[in-house]
Structure 1
Amino acid sequence: MNRFIYTILMYLSLPFAVLRILIKDSKNKSWKQKLKNQLGYVNNLQGKVIWIHCVSVGEFNAAKPLIDQLLKKYPSHKLVITTTTITGADATKSHYQNRVIHYFFPFDLPFIVGSFINKINPITCILLETEIWPNLINSLNKKAIPVVLINARLSEQSFDKYQRFSSKLVEKTINQFTFIGSQNNPSRERFLSLGASPDKVIMVGNLKFDSHEKINSALDEEIRLIVGKRDIIVFASTRNGEENQIIQSYNNLKEKFDALLFIIPRHPERFDEVFNMVSKTGLKVARRSENLQCSNMDVLIGDSMGEMMAYYKFCHIAFIGGSLSNTGGQNMLEAASASKPIIFGPSIHNFEEVAKSLLKRNAAIQVGNSDELMQTISELLLDKKRQLILGKNAKSTYEKNQGSINKVIELITPVIES
């Protein structure tokens, strides 16, 4: 596939992308702003602008150390943060208030990205992880605006997909980056196999190891009062189908342990669905947003945003969602930074290197299915010593992998100042 065919396909998909916003996001007050921004309607900006794109909350959290450093290093510059999701937008606005400018990321069509670029007029564009957009990157290159990919990762699945369907287009596009800062060596090798110039792909590590959440004492106290002194199991960022597996397996072993299951669905639009599903099983269930005391509850649904670190602080064991379904897992590092025993399922391809590092250092446990998950949890609850060892090793693994932000700043500074 070349860029011409890719662009035709993008034009054909545009009506469906707009329809998706109208259907999926129309209940949110930000949907009109999202649609306008994604079609290229943003304000004209003056002065020096640094543009950073983070798809959603996970990428935004990874980018925080970089955003903080850039705000400090370039106080007279404007920072534009784009996200694709509304949850990412909410996280950005909540954390940085008016210190940054937020827009939604434009659709990757030449006339749209061209208009977007002309209006914000960035001196540099910074993309995170796997955001490889041919028309955007080509448009930036035409205007001699440097574009970099940081915290770059390429899973085996993504690599295979690129090789099968668009190897020539991807090869041309990734060589238009000023540099690619790779999270790990396997990703670096995959970028090179796709045709990236060796001098462009640099191993910098994972920025998520450098991300630190501020302590919120009021929130901590609120959570402490809700959960009391019970054993708490956090099921973080669960995906469709996982909650049902977890509840069924829990019911089979319920008599073996008295613990509060704290389930936090990955997507806010599923909060009601998961609550209703659990309610129908006969288990006692509450919503975090209700602020109810949970001493006699079986399940608490985490339906409030931006509180994951507080949940980890008070839990005894953390299960990482997206790993029982075939979606590749979610970020394990927040739980590691909180010194918690970590469990995940078989599907971890999006965080393969982090998972391997945790397993190698006896900082996590991998299970094959939900029954094995619940059996492992019941055994861990009775083994406080092993809980402490796993948590200590998780924290140590987290700390030993820090320092990526220094390498990224070293690489990005001459690009911004050139």
Structure 2
Amino acid sequence: MRAYKAAVSLSARLGGNEKARQWLEGRENVWEGLAAAFPGDRPVIWVHAASLGEFEQGRPVMEALRRQYPGYRLLLTFFSPSGYNVRKNYDGADHVCYLPLDTAANAQRFLGLVNPAMAIFIKYEFWYHYLAALHARAVPVLLISGIFRHGQVFFRWYGGLFRQLLRQMDHLFVQNEISLHMLRDIGIGPEQASLAGDTRFDRVWALRMQPQALPVIEKFLDSREVLVAGSTWPDDEKMLAAWWNDGGRQRRQLILAPHETEEGHIRAIEAAFPGAIRYSALAAGQAGPGDVLIIDNVGMLSALYRYSHVSYVGGGFGKAGIHNLLEPATYGKPVVIGPVFHQFHEAVELVQIRGALVVQDEATFRERMDALEDAYYYEQTAEIAGRYVEEHQGATGRIMLYIQEKRFLTRE
């Protein structure tokens, strides 16, 4: 951990890495903020998310806890700047901050200040010292929307120490059967691990049921069909630009929300799409109607997808794979993705049932978009996508029922 911090410091100070700088600066006043936020007058529920995606995954559970246990304060911690910067003012928590580095001293100091009645970790982030300290204090610890894969340290011959960490957690709610079987193979039985599903389905379904209006977007739109391309990377944008500038723009508008919104990246997108306007300029009244709108902020994509006729989810041409395709699917719209998606089980399932369409390059992207011009094919694909999300709700209710049955939070 100390070596990691040193590497981040070098990246920030010598390499000019903005995220590294934010990672360091964001932790400078963590202790003072925690001491002021939790004076000890009310019990605390601690929820930890790695980044923005995990926050959205845990949000339905946090909101359910707020409704059902109003006597508890809620602490939300992040590891990554990309999560903290967007949700540092989240009003569903009493305090939002970075998680101090995982050392034995930090874990003891953190728990001494917060004194949580229960801790929830979302999907992954198994910090050794924090989990060991929570176990020593007999604090109930849950993993929600967990997912496990071969190659993780828990399933290696040398992973005994980390397997013990899992066994010390009160319950692991996993997303799929594969994860459950892997846990069974290392001796974690049904009393400690169960299939609850993915809380993201509850979150994205709520987006559909309670849609958020975006007046600036509505100002931009006209009667043409809209392609919303979300969480795009340069490879995605290169493919989209080739298609768009070679006839794809006919009868369409394009809204492009890149994963990274640094100035250099936005300028590169503007060069690839001549005449494109920025969201910030449109919102400020400095730009009029157009064909291409670039979203130069972070945090509105989940609400943006509902305005699409077809959605494209980026990341599928990189090693990490696609970003969240459930957000566009929940609105009952066809979803197009790149070829790297097999590590995401919801993507695999949606592709198998033909609710998501895979492309390998500009030519196959053109084929998919042309195919969706057929009204029957379009409606079938859209219906499958929306129905898939609707049928996979319920993880939040299963988790809340367990918390109630175990009486982890008895002070309301």
TM range (shorter): 0.7 to 0.9
Q: Counterpart in 1 of 2:52?
A: 57
Query: What is the CA distance between 1:370 and its match in structure 2?
Result: 4.1
Pair 1:160–1:114, CA change in 2 (3 A): closer
Structure 2 residue corresponding to 1:417, chosen from 401, 405, 409: 409
Match of 1:6 in 2: none
CA distance in 2, matches of 1:401, 1:26: 35
**Aligned mate of 1:392, from 369, 378, 383:** 383
Q: What is the TM-score of this pair, normalised by structure 2?
A: 0.87
- Distance of aligned partners of 1:197 and 1:286 in 2 relative to their CA distance in 1, 3 Å threshold: same
Query: Does structure 1 conserve the Cα–Cα contact (< 8 Å) formed by 2:338 and 2:359?
Result: yes
Change (3 A) 1:320 1:162: farther
Matched residue, 2:193: 201
Answer yes or no: is the 8 Å Cα contact 1:256–1:378 preserved in 2.
Answer: no
Amino acid across the alignment from 2:369: I
In structure 2, the partner of 1:72 is: 67
**Quick one: which of 195, 207, 212 aligns to 1:216?**
212
Q: Deviations over 1:296-331 (max 9, x none)?
A: 43x322123332233212111111111121212211
Amino acid at match of 1:63: G
Q: Structure 1 residue 191: deviation in Å?
A: 3.0
Q: Is the 8 A contact 1:93 1:102 kept in 2?
A: yes
1:133 aligns with 2:127: yes
- Structure 1: which 5+ residue stretches go unaligned? 1-9
Distance 2:221 2:369 in 1: 18
Query: Per the alignment, in what secondary structure is the counterpart of residue 96 of structure 1?
Result: coil
Which structure has more helix as a fraction of its residues?
Answer: 1
Q: Which residue type is aligned with residue 369 of structure 1?
A: D
> Counterpart in 1 of 2:294?
301
CA-atom RMSD in angstroms: 2.7
Structure 1 letter corresponding to 2:65:
L
Query: Retained in 2: the 8 A contact 1:129–1:152?
Result: yes
- Asked if the contact 2:371/2:377 (under 8 Å) is kept, the reply is no
1:365 to 332, 340, 357: 357
Identity percentage over the alignment? 22
Measured after TM superposition, the shift of residue 250 of structure 1 is: 3.8
CA 1:18–1:40: 2 relative to 1, 3 Å: farther
- 1:262 touches 1:301 (CA, 8 Å); kept in 2? yes
Residue 91 of structure 1: how far off its partner (Å): 4.1
How many pairs were matched up? 397
AA aligned opposite 2:349? S
Q: Is the 8 A contact 1:329 1:349 kept in 2?
A: no
Alignment counterpart, residue 330 of structure 1, candidates 313, 323, 329 = 323
Mapped partners of 1:355, 1:205: distance in 2: 14
Moved more, 145-154 or 85-94: 85-94
Whole-Å Cα distance in 1 between the matches of residues 157 and 362 of structure 2?
35
CA contact (8 A) 1:181 1:202 kept: yes
How do residues 219-230 of structure 1 correspond to structure 2 at under 5 angstroms? 219=214, 221-230=215-224
| Structure 2 unmatched ranges of 5 or more | none
2:374 to 359, 383, 402: 383
Output the CA distance in 1 between the equivalents of 2:289 and 2:157.
53
Range that drifts further, 339-348 or 165-174: 165-174
Asked if 1:247 corresponds to 2:230, the answer is no
The Cα of 1:138 is off from its aligned counterpart by 0.8
TM-score for the superposition, normalised by structure 1? 0.86
Q: Does 1:340 align with 2:333?
A: yes
